[in-house]
Each structure stands twice: as C-alpha cells, then as structure tokens.
A and B are shown apart, each in its own frame.
Chain A
C-alpha cells in the first residue's frame, strides 16, 4: 500500500497552490464584497490546464487524473472557495461530454471549456420544485420533426449567467409513450432561454448561481447528449464524480480555516501566554486537523477509485462528500471560536469561510441524500 503522491500529482498540487496564493487569496475578501465573477482568474486557470485536469489531451485537457484534480481543487478552495466550485463544475461538464458525447459534441464543446473560450459550463438539473427528487423534474423536451422543443425552468445553476454551454436534463417521451429523462446540450444564447438574476447567497459570492427559464427552445437532433432516456443515469454518474470535487472543495475551506486559526492561536496572548498553550485551544486544533486528515484520506481514496475506472466508486464518493463537508463546517465553526470576537468580524477571513462552507452540506446532493446512497449500497451488499 502506497498513499504518497507521485511526482506529477505533487507538481499539479504545487502549481494550484502557487496560483491560489498569488492570484486568488489576495482577492477573495474583495470579491466576497463585490460578488464579481472572477473572469480573469478563470481564464488564467484555463491557461494552466486547471479546467480540464482529467480530460484527454486531444480536447485540450491535461490528463493528469482524478487524484491530481482533487488535489488541485483543495488548493484552489484554500485561495477562494467560490472559484473552486466554478472550476469543479467546469471540469464536471467537460467530463460528462467526454464520456457520453458524440465526437462532434466533444470537439465542439470541450476545447472551449478547457481552453477558456467559455469561462464556464453549467449543469441544469434541479428545478424550483425538484431538488433531491430529481426525477420529478417538469422541464420537458417534445420531439419535433427536426429536433426538440424544450420548455421548463431550472434552478441553482452554477455559473449559469456566464456559461458557454448548458447541460439541461428534461423529460422526454419514449416510443411506448412513457416518460423518461434525457440530456441536452443547449446554447445559452438560443431564442427562448432566459437567464434569471443571480441568487443572493450566504457565501461563495464570487460564484454565480441563477435560475434559467426555457420557453419552446428549439434544439436540433444533435443536441441530445447520450441516448434518449439515459439522462438520469448520466446525472447520477456525474454527481458521483462531482461529489469528489465538492469533498475536495470542503477540505480546502477547512484547511484554510485551520491555518488561520493556528496562526492566530500562536500569536494571541491571554493570561500571560499564547492561547495555543491552553489545552482548550489545543484540543480544538487537534480535532480539526484530525477530522480534515480523515476527510482527505476518504476523498483521495474515492478519487483513486474513480481514476482506476475498474469498479464503482459511488459509495466512497458519497462518504467523502458527507464527511468532508461536515468536518469542514465544524472546522470553520471552531476556527471562529478560536479567534473569538475577531473571528466574527470581516477583519479576519474565517467569517467568510464559515459562510462559504455551509453549502457544501447541501449541494451536489444534500448530506441526507448522501446517507441514502451509502445506506442503499451497504444494504444491497448484505
């Protein structure tokens, strides 16, 4: 058993770390205030290959693998969590198109996503009335003589206002007249696509989250991604991979909170000594670090399993996402406790991290859904 990083993985980690430290961290607080979408940073990240970490070289990807991808997201999240989620979604969109797209679809979309011509791509799965119960979606694509007509509304679309391509899940009707779910590539500039105002979120302000309405949007036959009726399966597979990304993002946020708290604890003096010399603070630091290390190992294993591509990694990805997001939330909460009153102000970064981290327990499948995925898999194998 060898759980050390190989040279390529450490170099990827180092590049992401340097970029996060030099470009993202210095701007994170001001972007939190302004909610400005980080177009310039995203373009630089595309230039570094961070938008196609696990994508084939023929499509402008780096082919560095899933472990390297996870390491890179951890580093980027330490610089700015909002940028990390944008990066994670971009990589996921390209991976779905790479895995299920026709060669025409791959050639058309992936190089634009990896190369930065599209600042982002988006997943349109959830709806105002359909979240955890994705199969209850109401968006529908009707077959027309030369393609499809798409109507409905999607919610919580990450990067939606800036996406070059939207992956939209919709109900379709099969030859037997039964409903099934199919997936389409949609041009956000097409007639009938209306992008809503950005949501005013608790955290991750520099990421963009919108609703999108589709009103009789005409799609050609080649807009279909994968087979008709394959959409739900594709969504579940994409989410398995996405969960590794969100677990990594959560770990990055948690590590950043830990670093801030530790730095504060060795500087701050009370009762004549450093607060790091008090056991109450030491126990908090020990717990945060231990839980984040456990989260990191769970996530690395899920990433490694996905990279081997030899067996399912769904349970492991859900475990990683569940545990990492909860550990990271506790880390940010305890970091504020260590900084005391200062931690509650925007003078120090942990207040922002606390707001940024909260959604990691909600998106990419709520943690309640993760427990269902894990439990069903355990029971299936009993």
Chain B
C-alpha cells in the first residue's frame, strides 16, 4: 500500500503571536517553528496503515527549505521518503492543494491521509480542495479509520456528534485529534531518518502556478479578554448576566 501524508512547518502554537505594526503579517523574529499538530496525527495514521498493511509512506511538505526538519521528523517517526516542494512564497490553501494534486498524480498513492487543518492559519481547506482537484472521494475530520478491500471506513467528527462514511480508495482522509496518539520520533529513528531519501522540487518543476487567489488585507489581533469572575450562586450569575453583561 502506498500512503501519502503531508506536513506543514508552522509557528509554535504555544508562543504569543505578535502582529507587525503595518498589519501585513506576524512578526517572525525569534519565533520557533514545528510540525503542524494535526499533521502529527496524519503522519501517525499513515505509519500505522503501513504497519498494518505493509507498503510505503511518502511525506510531502510545501514550504521553505527549513521545512526539511519537519519532513525529517516524519521520517524519524517512521515514514519512508520525503518530498519537499520548496518555495518561500506566501501560499493560500488553493495553491498548496494544486501543488499536492500534482505530487499525487505523479506518485499515485492508494490513500492520502493529512491533517484536517494547520494550526497557524486554521483555514481547513487543503484536504477538501485536493479531493476536488483530483476528483477523488474525501472523508474529513477522521477520528477512526479502517482500510480493507480497496475501501476505507471513516468515523468522522461532525457538528452534533459523529458519522461514519465509507469511501472508495484512493481517497483523501483528513485527521482529527482523536484519530490516534502520535508517537515521538525515537533517537534511533532520528538517526535512520538521516539516510532516508528526501527529494526537493519546486512548484515550477511540477508546472504549478502558486500565485495566490486569496488576498490578505490585514492581520488584526482579537480583542483582549478581561479576566473572568467566579460567582457564588446561580442567582448571582443571573444578576451579572442581566445587569453587568446585559445579555439576558
């Protein structure tokens, strides 16, 4: 089974994001980067599929040269080879999906398991767009995945609960948080990863125009939240909601 998964290099979600004074983006000086946490679930699931069914895990990233570190982390976890589509351009989800679609056409994997969204821009579009560009079935927000006889049965997180979807492979599955518990990259895994193949391409090599279709006008910080208040009783709560917050 040939399994394709993806990793995005994102700003550390635990750090405080500061917006540039001209609101054109975030300040990246001194910022730490790491693998998008939803991608960790995608990579883990891809490796589990390989462990169960045999085959090969290919990990793809679209981004700067530094993203080899995130690819290398996935290789250290157990993926077999990496592909970096290198670009320093600002990418929208559509451009990433079109780049990935071209990689998928070349690699022809049996299944594509990726994170449901990136924790930096939180757009949650790439998986869906990718399915559309490839005209393949999709099952998003997976909390469970079973593969047999060319089909995948996917438990999905949906509004109001869960649902189950059966899709014919190849298909695009996007991973949610309950899907698995991602393993750490072990030290022997890290050492082995050094010798695993990692190819670098450019969007131009793939014939993909990455000019963005989405224009970002400006970044704004959300309004600062005032400290909460602990009330002693329901009556007091109702009083605060009515007279202080004025919401009832």
- Interface residues in A24-79 (C-beta closer than 8 Å to B): 47-50, 53, 57, 62-64, 68, 72
Using A48-B184, A48-B186 as known contacts, say yes or no to A62 and B191 having CB atoms under 8 A apart.
yes
Q: Of all chain A residues, which has the CB nearest B69?
A: A7
Say how far A53's CB is from chain B's closest CB, in angstroms. Answer: 6
Total number of A residues with any Cβ neighbor in B under 8 Å: 20
A12 touches B184 (CB 8 A): no
A11 touches B184 (CB 8 A): no
Say how far B232's CB is from chain A's closest CB, in angstroms. Answer: 23
Q: Of all chain B residues, which has the CB nearest A10?
A: B69
- Interface residues in B30-72 (C-beta closer than 8 Å to A): 34, 68-69, 72
The answer, yes or no, to whether B190 is at the interface (CB within 8 Å) is yes
Per-position contact with B for A313-344: 1 when CB-CB < 8 Å, else 0?
00000000000000000000000000000000
Number of A-B pairs, beta carbon distance below 8 Å: 52
Using A57-B191, A63-B191 as known contacts, say yes or no to A11 and B186 having CB atoms under 8 A apart.
no
Q: Of all chain A residues, which has the CB nearest B193?
A: A11
Question: Could you tell me the distance between the alpha carbons of A49 and B190 in the complex, rounded to whole angstroms?
Answer: 10
Question: Could you tell me the distance between the alpha carbons of A68 and B185 in the complex, rounded to whole angstroms?
Answer: 14
Using A8-B191, A8-B194, A62-B190 as known contacts, say yes or no to A15 and B184 having CB atoms under 8 A apart.
yes
Question: Could you tell me the distance between the alpha carbons of A48 and B77 in the complex, rounded to whole angstroms?
Answer: 11
The answer, yes or no, to whether A376 is at the interface (CB within 8 Å) is no
List B contacts of A50 (CB < 8 A): 187
B186 touches A15 (CB 8 A): yes
The answer, yes or no, to whether A221 is at the interface (CB within 8 Å) is no
Question: Could you tell me the distance between the alpha carbons of A49 and B189 in the complex, rounded to whole angstroms?
Answer: 9
- Interface residues in B182-241 (C-beta closer than 8 Å to A): 184-191, 193-194
The answer, yes or no, to whether A19 is at the interface (CB within 8 Å) is yes
Question: Could you tell me the distance between the alpha carbons of A62 and B191 in the complex, rounded to whole angstroms?
Answer: 7
The answer, yes or no, to whether A14 is at the interface (CB within 8 Å) is yes
List B contacts of A57 (CB < 8 A): 188, 191
Question: Could you tell me the distance between the alpha carbons of A11 and B69 in the complex, rounded to whole angstroms?
Answer: 8
List A contacts of B185 (CB < 8 A): 11, 14-15
List A contacts of B76 (CB < 8 A): 11, 15
- Interface residues in B171-189 (C-beta closer than 8 Å to A): 184-189
Say how far B179's CB is from chain A's closest CB, in angstroms. Answer: 17
Using A19-B184, A47-B186 as known contacts, say yes or no to A14 and B73 having CB atoms under 8 A apart.
yes
Q: Taking beta carbons and an 8 Å cutoff, which residues of B are in contact with A?
A: 34, 68-69, 72-73, 76, 184-191, 193-194
Top-9 shortest CB links A-B: A49-B187, A62-B187, A11-B190, A48-B186, A49-B188, A49-B186, A15-B184, A15-B185, A62-B188
Given contacts A11-B76, A15-B76, A49-B189, 20 further A-B contacts (CB under 8 A): A7-B68, A7-B69, A7-B194, A10-B69, A11-B72, A11-B190, A14-B34, A15-B184, A15-B186, A15-B190, A47-B186, A49-B186, A49-B188, A50-B187, A62-B187, A62-B188, A62-B190, A64-B187, A64-B191, A72-B187
